[in-house]
Homo-oligomer: A and B are copies of this chain.
């Protein structure tokens, strides 16, 4: 817990290196499963899926499954297939998200929908989603299937909820936290929880890992929201201000709107409804966000969720896995600096 964090020392910034080293051998197995199981006699499927899967993703979610299994000293290999299933669900979601948002850039590369068109992205997403369930079925655990089918439904619900809230600047913080709990944190939680299932541990272990993943997921998303307004395009791998131009009401905007003058609120209403989205407007938005403390407080909220994630690891014995999982949280937060 906090001891783990203090070990980091002031001279080193938090990184994913410890978790990457911890799971490197397992992740090779997962990558093999991913590459094998995205194949199809229909050539467009591996071509399109490979573009995204090989395209610089951090494999954050499968790494969490692997690291949590290591935390529990799980000696088997069932989690390789299941971590691949988690990555397939994530990839399917990204493919559909990019169509829904009309995105043109992800991780610094052109999106699949731009290269191959929306129809192909939708259908290959459906394929990967189905394939993820085939992988779970091969594993055979109904409990894992329950966790991941539930997570998938919750993700889709969260995405529709966000679509409904789009351009609605009056969305409140609780509603927004509900949206990101669903669309982002549910899969982080499930990725961690299934490690407890394959390791055949009790419900309270499942719950602790679920809490770790869920809080990390929320922190992760809030930091993404903050750096969409505050980072350079290179660091994000997508355009700065994308959320602003898409009228995505994220926590920074919710806080700035709540704290703003009548004039500020009118600005946000016009901006989120798509009326003011040029570079000057974005600069004004960023100014309002900084002045109102909305960016700093979004990061502060993320820190709180991050701390809850680390605290959820409390019951587990100290060691490399616990340190690596805690540092992954610190890393997620540190992206805002």
Which A residues have a C-beta under 8 Å from some C-beta of B?
Answer: 40-45, 92-93, 96, 99-100, 118-120, 122-124, 126-127, 129-131, 133-134, 136-137, 140, 142, 145-146, 149-150, 152-153, 155-157, 159-161, 163-164
B119 touches A40 (CB 8 A): no
From the candidates B43, B122, B140, B152, name the one contacting A130 in the complex (CB within 8 A): B152
Instruction: Report if A42-B164 is in contact (Cβ < 8 Å); known contacts: A96-B122, A129-B126.
Output: yes
**Closest chain B residue to A131 by CB distance?**
B153
B145 touches A133 (CB 8 A): yes
In the assembled complex, which residues on chain B have CB atoms less than 8 Å from the CB atom of A157?
40-42, 45, 127
**Closest chain B residue to A139 by CB distance?**
B142
**Closest chain B residue to A102 by CB distance?**
B119
**Closest chain B residue to A166 by CB distance?**
B119
**Closest chain B residue to A142 by CB distance?**
B140
Interface centre among A43, A44, A129, A150 (most CB of B within 10 A): A129
| A-B CB contact pairs (8 Å), 14 listed | A42-B160, A100-B123, A119-B163, A123-B163, A127-B153, A127-B160, A129-B129, A129-B152, A130-B153, A130-B155, A131-B153, A133-B133, A134-B150, A136-B145
Instruction: Report if A161-B42 is in contact (Cβ < 8 Å); known contacts: A122-B122, A146-B137, A153-B131.
Output: yes
In the assembled complex, which residues on chain B have CB atoms less than 8 Å from the CB atom of A92?
126
**Closest chain B residue to A37 by CB distance?**
B153
In the assembled complex, which residues on chain B have CB atoms less than 8 Å from the CB atom of A44?
160, 163-164
B149 touches A130 (CB 8 A): yes
A15, B28: Cα distance in complex, Å: 56
A62, B141: Cα distance in complex, Å: 26
**Closest chain B residue to A135 by CB distance?**
B149
B119 touches A156 (CB 8 A): no
In the assembled complex, which residues on chain B have CB atoms less than 8 Å from the CB atom of A130?
149, 152-153, 155-156
B160 touches A45 (CB 8 A): yes
A119 touches B145 (CB 8 A): no
In the assembled complex, which residues on chain B have CB atoms less than 8 Å from the CB atom of A164?
42-44
From the candidates B134, B140, B156, name the one contacting A123 in the complex (CB within 8 A): B156
